[in-house]
Amino acid sequence: MTELSSADVVVIGSGICGALTARKLAQRGASVLMLEAGPRVSRAQILANFRNSPRRSDWMSSYPFFPWAPHPVYQPEDNGYLVQAGPYPYAAEYIRMVGGTSWHWAAHAWRYVPNDMRIHSLYGVGVDWPFDYDELEPFYQEAEEIMGVAGSAAEHPESPRSKPFPLEPVAEPYAMRRLRERLAGVYSVVGNTAARNSRTFDGRPACCGSNNCQPICPVDAQYHGGLAVDAAEAAGVKLIANAVVYRLEHDDQDRVVAAHYYDPDKKSYRVTGKTFIVAANGIESPKLLLLSTSDKHPNGLANSSGMVGRNLMDHPSTSMTFDVDEDVWLGRGPQSPSSINTLRDGPFRAQRSPYRLDFTNISRVDGTTRRLLQEGVYGEEFEKRLRHSAAREMNVKTVLEVLPNPENRITLSDQKDAMGISKPQAHYAIDAYTRAGAQAAKADFARIAELMGATNIRLTDDEHFANNQHICGTLSMGSDPKTSVCDQYGQAHDHDNLFMVGTGVLPTAGTCNSTLAAVAVALRTVEHILPDRSSVRSSNDAASNA
Ligand SMILES: Cc1cc2nc3c(=O)[nH]c(=O)nc-3n(C[C@H](O)[C@H](O)[C@H](O)COP(=O)(O)OP(=O)(O)OC[C@H]3O[C@@H](n4cnc5c(N)ncnc54)[C@H](O)[C@@H]3O)c2cc1C
Ligand code: SF4
């Protein structure tokens, strides 16, 4: 075993949440060491992988697989890394390399609506957050200013703000304009708030409308975790890549004293620090805590309540695909630019899930080409049908709320990965609350179809819910140590120098993508850690005690 290093703060995971936490801590003078399971891969390499990929519509295919830091893969077949215990598959996708999963996100950067954070008090379902929207609002703003979020405050009264969006909205694609115009008076179609440059910002260019946001923006007009890592390193954070943390060690006072990691050759290293922050994502973070067993904590760290890994949530989607009665040509501009946001809250939440309705703008050319070739369509008929789909096919999906349920959870599988580390296992069900929301949305689908003159309408069936990759709840914040993993600052109830950041700490999922909220909560966590200098000593102190 090799003693490699030591720092005031050790951050485990270099995704957008870990890197922006590390950056802010370093900016305030802490020495910060960031341990990352995967290697560095450049944007140019990812782009080259995409261009050479035989399966471009599989967004994971541009991201290399590293046996020492495995991630779930589903195409051409499930690699079995995320073991499914059922009854409903939880097909999470994530990336384990420097910068993490937001390399291939859609850059939706939503705020919750205030009532998402008090659904128990208001509607008698789920749980309340340990703080309210007003408390988080300045940190939302801070996160948006770092990430360069573009949007229109007038279009988003559902999430109040004290300052303008950092950037003006990105230009509205033609297809979305036609949706907005044709649904007007019944539905308000608005631009999505996104971490996407509408003009040059932060040394990066404006969006040029190339419609490749997932799996990789070729010009870095979108913010992502790789940029957050660059900024963290510029602020003085030391990054160790290819460091797969497999255990946290504690002392007699239940303080975490070291993180143990493997390099790709399975050589083990021990890193010491004063404060430890787990930021390995909503599945890998609980997995690490569950792996960190000891005689005193046989069920893992931060887990005296047994809540680590529980309350797994996402935003399941149902959808409608249809042919509109005019040419709109999806595929010009960002992939996911517009939505309907007026259905996200109301007294009905006592009975059923609310939802956002999200319109896709992904070019239909790739998908239709593959479908037609599979059907054996060639020649003039091929051209006619491809042209028709490319011009007229549209799609709208629900983004449904899932309530926290302790039975939905991540556990350790008895299967091991190539490093001999337990694989994560997902236990997940879609409950009646979410299903009732999906049923209610059918009326909206029908109305939208009518207003758009839709033909060839295709609805997903009642048993099919797409996963939206928003892994929430598994490290839930809360005031009661019996029902939550950490307090309002992400501080483990059981270990006073162990913190957690990421989407896993969010106690409810609401109806919007989770990353902006997770970053805002993480930036708030830093405020708690750093003003209290007693929990962070200088690097010299730490080194001398290592
Ligand atoms: C296709 C797709 C589209 C998405 N679109 C959106 C969107 O539009 N808006 C939105 O809000 N969200 C979106 N998401 C979700 C978003 O990407 C995540 O919420 C976000 O990346 C979470 O950030 P994180 O830092 O918590 O975790 P991650 O980004 O997953 O980073 C975790 C890091 O920890 C590292 N790590 C893991 N295990 C270990 C270990 N044992 N030791 C050391 N390091 C470890 C990983 O390698 C990784 O780098 C999308 C996700 C996908 C897959
Ligand atoms: S449309 Fe193109 S330039 Fe704009 S964010 Fe998406 S990939 Fe980047």
Residues with Cβ within 8 Å of 384's Cβ and at least 6 positions away in sequence, in order, are none
- The ligand whose atoms approach the alpha carbon of 212 most closely is 2
Q: Check whether the bond before 507 is cis (ω within 30° of 0).
A: no
- Report which ligand 1 atom has the smallest distance to the Cα of 94: 53
* Domain housing 283: 1-52+90-105+110-148+224-311+408-425+471-546
Give the model confidence (pLDDT) of 274-306 as tens digits: 999 999 999 999 999 999 999 999 999 999 999
Q: Is 36 in the pocket of ligand 1 (CB under 6 A)?
A: yes
| Residue 348 belongs to some domain of the structure | no
Q: State the DSSP code for 62.
A: G
pTM of the model: 0.96
How many other C-beta atoms can be found within 10 angstroms of the C-beta atom of residue 273? 27
Active site residue 120: no
Q: What is the C-alpha separation between 343 and 440, in angstroms, rounded?
A: 11
Q: Are 72 and 467 in contact (CB under 8 A)?
A: no
Q: What is the C-alpha separation between 477 and 468, in angstroms, rounded?
A: 22
- The ligand whose atoms approach the alpha carbon of 363 most closely is 2
Give the model confidence (pLDDT) of 78-123 as tens digits: 999 999 999 999 999 999 999 999 999 999 999 999 999 999 999 9
Q: What is the C-alpha separation between 377 and 31, in angstroms, rounded?
A: 61
Take atom 6 of ligand 2 and give the residue whose Cα is closest.
Answer: 213
For residue 188, what pLDDT is reported? 98
pLDDT band at residue 70 under the 50/70/90 scheme: very high
| Residue 339 belongs to some domain of the structure | no
For residue 2, what pLDDT is reported? 52
Checking if the pLDDT of 535 tops 70, the result is: no
Q: Are 324 and 454 in contact (CB under 8 A)?
A: yes
- Report which ligand 1 atom has the smallest distance to the Cα of 245: 42
Q: What is the C-alpha separation between 91 and 388, in angstroms, rounded?
A: 32
Q: Is 472 in the pocket of ligand 1 (CB under 6 A)?
A: no
Which of 210, 214, 227, 332 gets mutated to test ligand 2 (max ligand atoms within 8 A of its CB)? 210
| Residue 521 belongs to some domain of the structure | yes
Q: Is 207 in the pocket of ligand 2 (CB under 6 A)?
A: yes
DSSP H or E stretch at residue 355: strand 355-359
pLDDT band at residue 543 under the 50/70/90 scheme: very low
Q: Is 15 in the pocket of ligand 1 (CB under 6 A)?
A: yes
Helix (H, G, I), strand (E, B) or coil at 140: helix
Compute, in angstroms, the gap from residue 15 CA to the centroid of ligand 1: 6
* HSE value, Cβ hemisphere, 13 Å, CA-based, for 348: 15
Q: Check whether the bond before 215 is cis (ω within 30° of 0).
A: yes
Q: Is 93 in the pocket of ligand 1 (CB under 6 A)?
A: yes
Residues with Cβ within 8 Å of 214's Cβ and at least 6 positions away in sequence, in order, are 59, 104, 105, 106, 335
* Residue of 108, 224, 427, 470 with catalytic role: 470
Compute, in angstroms, the gap from residue 14 CA to the centroid of ligand 1: 9
Split into its structural domains, the chain has a count of 1
Please give the average per-residue pLDDT across 450-455, as a whole number.
98
Take atom 4 of ligand 2 and give the residue whose Cα is closest.
Answer: 207
Q: Is 213 in the pocket of ligand 1 (CB under 6 A)?
A: no
Please give the average per-residue pLDDT across 117-136, as a whole number.
98
- Nearest-Å Rg of the Cα atoms of the chain is 23
Q: What is the C-alpha separation between 383 and 405, in angstroms, rounded?
A: 49
pLDDT band at residue 168 under the 50/70/90 scheme: very high
Q: What is the C-alpha separation between 6 and 88, in angstroms, rounded?
A: 42
| Residue 351 belongs to some domain of the structure | no
Q: What is the CATH number of the domain that holds 258?
A: 3.50.50.60
Give the model confidence (pLDDT) of 150-160 as tens digits: 999 999 999 99
| Residue 357 belongs to some domain of the structure | no
Give, in order, the Cα–Cα distances in Å from 193 to each of 128, 146, 168, 303, 512. 25, 14, 10, 36, 11
| Residue 333 belongs to some domain of the structure | no
Q: Which two tokens stand for residue 308?
A: 């680590």
**Which of these, 417, 126, 402, lies nearest to 287 by C-alpha position?**
417
| Residue 371 belongs to some domain of the structure | no
Q: Is 222 in the pocket of ligand 2 (CB under 6 A)?
A: yes
* HSE value, Cβ hemisphere, 13 Å, CA-based, for 451: 18
Residues with Cβ within 8 Å of 527's Cβ and at least 6 positions away in sequence, in order, are none
pLDDT band at residue 55 under the 50/70/90 scheme: confident
Q: Is 70 in the pocket of ligand 1 (CB under 6 A)?
A: no
**pLDDT above 70: percentage of residues in the chain:** 97
- The ligand whose atoms approach the alpha carbon of 11 most closely is 1
Take atom 16 of ligand 1 and give the residue whose Cα is closest.
Answer: 102
Q: Are 304 and 493 in contact (CB under 8 A)?
A: yes
| Residue 63 belongs to some domain of the structure | no
